[in-house]
Structure 1
């Protein structure tokens, strides 16, 4: 084989090798990047909440509580299936700031997501979205918030591991009403049009996490419901901090992976020109 042909073959094999690595690493890298962006949305929301005056926070809180009371009185059904096809919403720079209303933490599956006040295809890919016609996730008697998100996206984890939750597991919500804790008491699989389990129950303070199932088939909906329990600061803060530390570790791993890919690329580039 001539040197020229050998050089082309080596270049092709090197390119093929790098392409294979990139394809193999895409889900991991993409998930870590999206997770990092989610954490930035959460930090922005927390900073904004800290900067707001007490009067402003109380006003927002009262608006949510009033809407929840009206919802409980009307006894209306939740909105349409959150995963139905719809026209994408135009996204601007202020979209996240305008629509973020809280933070959802699920320690068992290492999930920490921003909560958005409406359900669209865009928000379902970025965090947990409030299903139309359900209560705002601020707690209180006769409330039932339904938070939905995608499962099985190659670029983001989101609710992919929601099926790993079991009864008595905990999840937490941070909102204008402070920090709330919920304990899983019911796990069900339903048809997309079955809304009975999403209705408000008088006197109860409930939150349901909703996603598609079976994995990658998406013909049904998985419901993981929790009822409110007292928020024990010390123990719960430890659980939430575990999520933060794991996410920082993931970012560190991502950094090493990207550096490794860069080094491999540079070495291949040098070898190519040496030959």
Structure 2
């Protein structure tokens, strides 16, 4: 009897150890899976969140513009054109932009720093344009390089719009290297949409700025980002010249009507289904372990009972 009880205790301890080891292994595998899945989905989810932010900012800007009167447009454009003329007469302001005062207030109709937005249909990109190129701006949108012309069109102007590329959290200018001569992009400022056609693509060092200077009687806009991808030792410049000015033709989706990207929906549904599957597997594994435990206990009990019966039979004899 004593040896039977010891054997039963050992069996219980062994079963507990195996069960604990199995559960720990399962939990570790689930955690590894979830971490890997999170890393894989991070760029998609982050880009979706960033695009939603951009869409809301542009929709809010368009709504603000629609509430303005014609005389308001005139006032803002006149201030921007006045700044551009001063810039054309003072080339040193490119390197020392604070020589011309009032930059931050020009074209800032909502107090958010947004002066308009850029649309590159070929790349599927539409970004709000903020005053300046601070790191905080370039992480989420496009920035207007202070010391260059405001992108309102006109002779002797050269605007520079910059954005990051290669960020895991946002697309921005990641695909700017896919632009070719002859492609177009548009800049929307207030009720004015200016279309530019790409006529020059170049790669320069950060301190090579000759190609960003104003040229007499020319209306240029250059898109700038870092290159090579992930190394960022040079600058990719995509320059366009104005081929037309008109009123914006497209209507933006408001923040409330912003649709969730099907990729995000599919990913979330996939995660939920996988988690449910893992939970089911874990429960089934646990049940099997319990069934195995009961089976072994029953076998031990029967073995002990049989031993008692045999012993009793021997005594009877």
Q: TM-score, normalised by structure 2?
A: 0.73
Aligned to 2:148: 134
Deviation at 1:271, TM superposition (A): 4.7
CA distance in 1 between partners of 2:139 and 2:116 (Å): 16
Deviation at 1:57, TM superposition (A): 2.3
- The answer to whether the Cα contact below 8 Å between 1:171 and 1:183 also exists between their aligned partners in 2 is yes
Is residue 208 from structure 1 mapped to residue 208 from structure 2 by the alignment?
no
Larger radius of gyration: 2
CA distance in 2 between partners of 1:64 and 1:232 (Å): 17
Aligned to 1:116: 130
What is the root-mean-square deviation of aligned Cα atoms in Å? 2.7
- The answer to whether the Cα contact below 8 Å between 1:79 and 1:132 also exists between their aligned partners in 2 is no
CA distance in 2 between partners of 1:177 and 1:62 (Å): 14
Is residue 259 from structure 1 mapped to residue 260 from structure 2 by the alignment?
no
Q: In the TM superposition, what whole-angstrom CA distance separates every residue of 1:124-183 from its partner, at most 9, and x where no partner exists? A: 111111111100011111110000111111111111111110100000111125111000
1:35-54 → structure 2 map (5 Å cutoff): 35-54=51-70
Deviation at 1:54, TM superposition (A): 2.4
Q: 1:165 to 1:77 in 2, by over 3 A?
A: farther
| 1:10 match: secondary structure | helix
Q: 1:79 to 1:37 in 2, by over 3 A?
A: farther
- The answer to whether the Cα contact below 8 Å between 2:161 and 2:224 also exists between their aligned partners in 1 is yes
Is residue 75 from structure 1 mapped to residue 124 from structure 2 by the alignment?
no
Q: Which residue among 154, 157, 164 is the counterpart of 1:143?
A: 157
Runs of 4+ residues deviating >6 angstroms: none
- State which drifts further: 69-78 or 36-45: 69-78
Q: 1:255 to 1:97 in 2, by over 3 A?
A: farther
Deviation at 1:266, TM superposition (A): 4.2
Stretches of structure 1 that go unaligned for 5 or more consecutive residues are 81-93, 242-247
1:166-205 → structure 2 map (5 Å cutoff): 166-176=180-190, 178-205=192-219
- The answer to whether the Cα contact below 8 Å between 2:194 and 2:246 also exists between their aligned partners in 1 is no
CA distance in 2 between partners of 1:123 and 1:216 (Å): 19
Q: 1:112 to 1:42 in 2, by over 3 A?
A: same
Deviation at 1:250, TM superposition (A): 7.1
Structure with greater helix percent: 2
- The answer to whether the Cα contact below 8 Å between 2:192 and 2:246 also exists between their aligned partners in 1 is no
CA distance in 2 between partners of 1:79 and 1:153 (Å): 28
- The answer to whether the Cα contact below 8 Å between 1:77 and 1:195 also exists between their aligned partners in 2 is no
| 1:60 match: secondary structure | helix
Aligned to 2:41: 25
Is residue 158 from structure 1 mapped to residue 168 from structure 2 by the alignment?
no
CA distance in 1 between partners of 2:184 and 2:259 (Å): 23
Aligned residue-pair number: 254
CA distance in 2 between partners of 1:117 and 1:68 (Å): 15
Q: TM-score, normalised by structure 1?
A: 0.84
- State which drifts further: 108-117 or 259-268: 259-268
